[in-house]
């Protein structure tokens, strides 16, 4: 896969996980607002808990496998020669 394809895949993956986090936060917001009770929509509560577990596992995985250095900054530094 070329570097552009890898960047597109990375961007799509990041977008997916941000959307998952947005659903979790939106659910928590409506619970805090009192719009509905978690017991009234047990199926939705279980689905959001599942998404929260998936997002947490993803966040732990990313934190352990990323170097913390921005690849674009590394590329630019190498291109400039320092």
What is this structure's pTM?
A: 0.75
Top-confidence residue, 69 or 32: 32
**pLDDT for position 82:** 61
The span from the first CA to the last CA of the chain, in angstroms, equals 28
Helices (H), the chain: 3-33, 42-65, 71-80
pLDDT at position 3 over 80? no
Other C-beta atoms within 10 Å of 46: how many? 11
Instruction: Give the pLDDT mean for 74-80.
Output: 79
Q: What are residue 60's phi and psi, to 5 degrees?
A: -65, -45
Q: What is the pLDDT of residues 26-46, one digit of tens each?
A: 999 999 999 999 999 999 999
Q: What is the pLDDT of residues 55-64, one digit of tens each?
A: 999 999 988 8
**pLDDT for position 74:** 77
42-65 vs 3-33: helix axis angle to the nearest 10?
A: 140
């Amino acid at each position: 896969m070329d570097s552009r394809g890898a960047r597109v895949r990375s961007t799509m993956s990041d977008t997916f996980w941000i959307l998952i986090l947005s659903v979790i936060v939106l659910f928590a917001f409506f619970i805090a607002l009192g719009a509905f009770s978690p017991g009234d929509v047990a199926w939705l509560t279980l689905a959001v808990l599942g998404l929260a577990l998936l997002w947490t596992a993803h966040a732990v995985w990313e934190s352990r496998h990323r170097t913390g250095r921005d690849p674009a900054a590394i590329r630019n530094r190498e291109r400039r020669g320092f």
